Amino acid sequence: MAAARSSPLAAPRAVIVSPSKGSEGAKGACEAPASTADAPECPAADVVDTAGFGFGSSLRLHKTDEYSSVFAFRRVLRGRWFNLHYCPNSLGHARIGLVVAKKLAKRAVQRNLVKRIGRDLFRHAQADLPAHDLVLRLSAKLDNVTRRMMREDMNSLLGRLPKK
């Protein structure tokens, strides 16, 4: 394994530093200095996500009750292949959950692709989205549907979301 690390083809591993964790959160993490004059050299500072395109745990719906409350609110936008259920939340940011039934996408590869595209679109659009809990649900079979068509359908639903 040591030979693989010294190989020019092997990429170096990076440490991601979470800005939400304090000095006790991550061992060896660099702390923000009081001023820039006494700033220690911090190699991990280069890999911190400053663009805001992360997809942390706080941006996802986790529990059945969270999904149920969105469905119970009964607000839905319908697209060709997807439905976007939504309800306002008090968190100040949007959260998303994805539902892809085996009945509509038989193969796990297809279900994972739908979820991956949905997460990616949400990740890039999250700054422009209102503080809502969202559930993106597959509503029709994906026969002869390209990735571009899926992306366009999901994107149009996110664009039609009320900005309240």
CATH (domain of 142):
3.30.230.10
Dihedral of the alpha carbons of 123, 124, 129, 135, in degrees to the nearest 10: -40
Nearest C-alpha neighbor of 150 from the set 102, 96, 99, 80: 80
Of residues 118 and 52, more confidence is placed in: 118
Are residue 91 and residue 152 in the same domain, yes or no?
A: yes
What's the mean pLDDT in 132-156?
95
Its pTM stands at 0.66
Are residue 102 and residue 83 in the same domain, yes or no?
A: yes
Are residue 70 and residue 149 in the same domain, yes or no?
A: yes
C-beta separation of 114 from 78 below 8 A: no
Residue 150 pLDDT > 90: yes
Separation between Cα atoms, residue 42 and residue 30, nearest integer Å: 6
Are residue 28 and residue 61 in the same domain, yes or no?
A: no
Q: Of the given ranges (52-56, 65-69, 158-162), which has the lowest mean pLDDT?
A: 52-56
Domain that holds residue 151: 57-160
* Chain segment 90-141, per-residue pLDDT in tens: 998 899 999 999 999 999 999 999 999 999 999 999 888 999 999 999 999 9
